[in-house]
Amino acid sequence: MISIHLHFIIGIYHIYDLICSIWSSKAGMLTADMWRQWMANPSLCWGVGPVAVVATAFIITALPLEWLIRQPFMQKYLITYGVDSKKNDGIGRPAAIRRTQEKVPLTEQVKGTALTLAGPAAIVGGVISALAIPFVITYVADQPILPSLGSFLFSTVAMKLIDDFGLYLGHRVQHEVPFLWKHFHSHHHKLTTPTPVSTLYIDATDAMLQGSLPIIAALFFMQPHPFTAYFHIATRIGENAVNHSGLECWWIDVLTLKVLPFRASAGHHDSHHRFSNYSGNAKNFGEMFVIWDWIFGSLRSKTVGNSNHSEAKKVK
């Protein structure tokens, strides 16, 4: 484990050094000038930018994952539930996915995801970000095109914690308040067995409470360099797709740094979909870390066994 962490730190340094070298090249200097102009425009930098990053990060993460879960060589990594841990209510996960898609057709899930990426939630979130963030992050002419490595790492970790805490609160309140559950969050929980492309099959109000507002809060409090902000947003959305993939695979865990302490596994959120499809005393609200669920008593590990939760109420 220590070796993995050391290799990760060394890898980050080399990637940062490579990016700096690219900026120093002739083509890089031209790109740097365009980047400076972008940073100098608040509407582009803090309005259009985050929305575009969300869409791009989701597409390049969710589509490959959707392909992976359908490949024979990945079936052994799919999360399953059942007495013998190889079944899901007596059927395998692919069959459980088909059963979910009989209830909510895949085309409807994709349309819902597309609406989240380019619909009211994205537009309102972009407008709020464009109006709020420039009050605390002011562009200056001599601002470096890249943050220092130390600033990048510190801000990234801090934003992950702030963002995930905001997500935890926005997620939990929708399970605790029957009105919010009934009218907003239950829409997403129609997906008992989700897949990556259905990650953003979510009501616009739900998307604001769990997505836009926590991200904006993280940016507001940490006031990061735009590059750091975009990196945080991209990795946050990418991890969201991983958490809906149903894949617990060692190399995906390494790539997404789920091997680090206090990180939430894909099974953490998959268990939430499987056993918390109801309003009330649900579990596993965090997505990036398990610490909030542990601190506030809502932690439940992935359950292997009878998948009929005694407290669960099926979504109509």
**Is residue 27 domain-shared with residue 60, that is, in the same domain?**
no
What pLDDT digit, counting tens, does each position of 196-237 carry? 999 999 999 999 999 999 999 999 999 999 999 999 999 999
285 located within any domain:
yes
Question: What's the sign of the alpha-carbon dihedral 140, 221, 242, 66?
Answer: negative
Q: If you ran DSSP here, which 8-state letter would residue 211 be given?
A: I
E strand map for the chain: none
For residue 59, count other CB atoms closer than 10 A to its CB.
Answer: 15
Helix (H, G, I), strand (E, B) or coil at 246: coil
**pLDDT (tens digit per residue) in 70-97:** 999 999 999 987 644 444 444 678 888 9
Residue 21 sits in the same domain as residue 50: no
Does residue 187 sit in the same domain as residue 291?
yes
Burial of 316 (0-12, 13-18, 19+ CB in 10 A): exposed
Q: Does residue 309 fall inside a structural domain?
A: no
Domain span at residue 5 reads 1-40
Whether residues 30 and 158 fall in one domain: no
pLDDT in tens, 250-284: 999 999 999 999 999 999 999 999 888 888 888 99
Same domain membership, residue 75 and residue 11: no
Task: Give tens-digit pLDDT for 144-190.
Answer: 888 988 999 999 999 999 999 999 999 999 999 999 999 999 999 99
Residues 263, 188 share a domain: yes
Q: How many domains does the chain have?
A: 2
Domain contains 303: no
pLDDT band, very low/low/confident/very high, at 305 (cuts 50, 70, 90): very low
Report whether 257 contacts 8 (CB < 8 A).
Answer: yes
Burial of 308 per CB tally in 10 Å (0-12, 13-18, 19+): exposed
